[in-house]
Amino acid sequence: MEYLNQTSVQELGHQATVIAIKDGDLLAPVANFMKVRTVTWIAAAIPLVLLIYRLLIDRKLQSNFLVRRYHAWRYLFSGPQIIQDAFNKAGGKPFEVLAPDNRYVFVSSLKHIKELDSAPDTVLSLQAASKQMLQPVYTMTGFNWFDRRGTEGVGFVRALRTMLTANLPQILPDLSTIIRTRFEEIHETHPTVDGEKQSEVYHMIVQLVVLSNAVSFFGKDLAKNEQFMVSALAYIEHTLICAEVVRLVPKWLAPIIGGIIAKRLHAHEIIFNTLLPVAQQRIDEKALADLGQQADCIQWIMETSPRANPWNAKRIVHELMAIWFGSVHALSTTITFAIHDLCIHPEYVAPLRQEMEEGYADFEKTGLGLPLVDSFIKESARLTPVESMSTRRHALQPFELSDGTKVNVGDWACTPVRAIMTDPETYPSPNDFNGFRFADPSIVEEVVGGFKTPQEKPSKLTDVGSTFHVWGTGRMACPGRFYAAACMKVLMGQIIMNYDMKLINPEAPRMFTWRSSMLPRPKTKMVFTPRV
């Protein structure tokens, strides 16, 4: 709305100038504009001058202000550790963390988490938080979605949770073949050093996830479109760069900077222009008695859009672009860390390989099973989650927790997911990697034996609960998590069954942080040796 209001003012100013020229009085509008601008600058300068004056004469205020801004900017580079330290000091109570562009209020008790989850979307909004993170106006060809979820329908939830999940038995067999073949092709291009091919594993995994999702979401034809696939790969990085820059510049400068960056990063335009005619064709076919229906996300998003006001092709593509970013970024990071963990804990390779060789065919037919692989990925995600923050809710209205903690308009309420998942009250030996921590003890004993399962009861990677927030919490939990889990098992399966692996330098740092994210270092190298 702020940008729209600025535009309206500019239009009104232009109209006033035209009228003045017609009347032969060029000086009147100019003089009026100068007066308005002078008053505006004075009004804006008064609080700034008073703040500077107070900082100069009040050493305590000066110290507090500078310290708070220092910690806010430090958050960009040390977010996960700052959140962890604050969690440790809070003793289960809500606590705040500052960022340059925001104030975060973290809650960790079950009571407070439920309060966040039950708050109306008009008060605490996940959609508004996502909008601030991704800046879709600049990263998704002008997609300025509403702050409140469901304003235009939530059909995408059914498309991902129900339709995509139900089609896994049709998707997975082809996906396995495609991933195995593409892995071999990528691996063959990597340089040989001292007789071993060395692979930058994160780049490799991102390419495989992009291919997997393109086939699953858009079908094989689009997955063969080289320009589209290159752009689909670049889009993730472009979105992160553009959104971060826009979030950190002053609000009045964001439209200018965002517009400049968007014009220079073309991946989002290529994706949009490629998908738009496909979506329009599907809409036209549906109008002609449902001719040519396809089993992909384009079709499912279209079919689940509001019946009273069906989405047009542009709106469908915008929804697909938002889903695309989330699916590629989280999947790639989670799988890369899981592969790292396989190398760091090689004792798990044999039992996981045995499970794969015995149960992979049944998994392909159902999308279910492989409980040991499931537990291993979940344990990796527990210790190295993509995010140290979850359950993001942007306050559209003032909100107060039951203990009196206030969340002001514009603040975010959230949960410290990584801190919760390494809390010794919930997870015995929380900092120790236990790949079968979440598996059924009877299955572990039957397959391999000798491994501990310290949790009170087994759980699945896709489970959502008060102590595992990788997928979010409650009614807003990720609807695509069943596909994501299956896709991760396909990737892990093809690597485990067909390759031995090792990290070139196991002691080297393998991750870096930005804000609350933990990301694999792109230059981390591995050796994948084909099994005979």
pLDDT digits (tens, 9 = 90+) for 144-162: 766 555 544 466 778 888 8
Q: Are residues 341 and 481 in the same domain?
A: yes
Instruction: Please indicate whether residue 162 or residue 356 has the higher confidence score (pLDDT).
Output: 356
> Which pLDDT band, with edges at 50, 70 and 90, does 378 fall under?
very high
At 9 the pLDDT is 29
- Asked if residue 100 belongs to a domain, the reply is no
Q: Report if residue 411 sits inside a domain.
A: yes
3-state secondary structure of 95: strand
Do both 441 and 508 map to the same domain?
yes
Clarify whether residues 358 and 297 are in a common domain: yes
What three-state secondary structure class fits 399? strand
Task: Tell me if 99 is assigned to some domain.
Answer: no
Between 41 and 164, name the one with better pLDDT: 164
Where does a domain end: 27, 44, 60?
A: 60
Residue 316: both structure tokens together? 């469908």
Q: Name residue, tokens 């800046």.
A: 135
What is the pLDDT of the chain when averaged over all its residues?
A: 83
Which residues, other chains included, contact 125 with Cβ-Cβ below 8 Å and sequence gap of 6+? 147, 148, 149, 393, 394, 395, 396
In a domain, 66, yes or no: no
Residue 150 lies in a domain: yes
Joined tokens for residue 325: 């970013």
Q: Which of 38-42, 271-275, 351-355 shows the lowest mean pLDDT across its residues?
A: 38-42
> Domain check: are 115 and 8 in the same one?
no
| pLDDT above 50 (res 19) | no
pLDDT of 491 strictly over 90: yes
Tell me the backbone φ, ψ of residue 502, rounded to 5 degrees: -160, 150
Of 11-15, 162-166, 478-482, the one with minimum mean pLDDT is 11-15
Who wins on pLDDT, 57 or 476?
476
Same domain, 37 and 145: no
Q: What is the Cβ-side half-sphere exposure of residue 513, based on CA atoms within 13 angstroms?
A: 17
| pLDDT tens sequence across 44-86 | 344 445 545 554 555 554 557 777 888 888 999 999 999 999 9
pLDDT range class, residue 324, cuts 50, 70, 90: confident
Same domain? For 56 and 128 the reply is no
List Cβ neighbours of 314 (8 Å cut-off, separation of 6 or more): 276, 279
Which residues constitute the domain of residue 16? Answer: 2-60
Asked if 268 and 141 touch (Cβ cutoff 8 Å), the reply is yes
DSSP notation for 450-511: S----SSS---TT--BTTB-TT--GGGS-TTHHHHHHHHHHHHHHHHHHEEEEES-TTS--E
Residues 87-91 have a mean pLDDT of: 95
Residue 304 confidence (pLDDT): 82
- Torsion, Cα of 395, 398, 399, 400 (10° steps): 140
The one-character DSSP state at 348 is G
Task: Clarify whether residues 29 and 135 are in a common domain.
Answer: no
Asked if 40 and 139 sit in the same domain, the reply is no
* Eight-class DSSP state of 347: G
Judge if 145 and 39 occupy the same domain.
no
Q: Are residues 280 and 158 in the same domain?
A: yes
Question: CA 440 to CA 344: how far, in whole Å?
Answer: 23
Q: pLDDT tens digit string along 93-137?
A: 999 999 999 999 999 999 999 999 999 989 999 888 888 888 888
* Cα dihedral 200/478/239/396 (nearest 10): -150
Residue 301 placed within a domain: yes
Reduce the DSSP state of residue 299 to 3 states and report it. helix
Span of 137-146, 345-354, 473-482 with lowest mean pLDDT: 137-146
52-61, 445-454, 475-484, 514-523: least confidently modelled range = 52-61
How does DSSP classify residue 346? G
Give CA angle at 94 (89, 99), nearest 5°. Answer: 85
- What pLDDT does residue 302 have? 85
pLDDT above 70 (res 321): yes
Contact 120, 443 (CB under 8 A): no
Whole-angstrom distance, CA of residue 418 vs CA of residue 150: 29
- Same domain? For 190 and 48 the reply is no
Portion of the chain with pLDDT greater than 90, in percent = 52
What confidence score (pLDDT) does residue 149 get? Answer: 53
Looking at the structure, do residues 129 and 215 belong to the same domain, yes or no? yes
SS3 sequence, 217-277?
HHCHHHHCCHHHHHHHHHHHHHHHHHHHHHHHCCCCCHHHHHHHHHHHCCHHHHHHHHHHH
Mean pLDDT of 243-263: 88
91, part of any domain: no
- Provide the number of structural domains found in the chain: 2
Q: Cβ of 522: how many Cβ atoms within 10 Å? A: 12
Q: Is 478 one of the annotated binding-site residues?
A: yes
Q: What CATH code is carried by the domain that includes residue 330?
A: 1.10.630.10
As a whole number of Å, the end-to-end CA separation of the chain is 62
Mean pLDDT is lowest, of 41-55, 174-188, 278-292, 460-474, for: 41-55
**Is residue 217 situated within a structural domain?**
yes
pLDDT of 513 over the 60 cut = yes
The CA angle 20-21-26, to the nearest 5 degrees, is 70
Q: What pLDDT does 14 receive?
A: 34
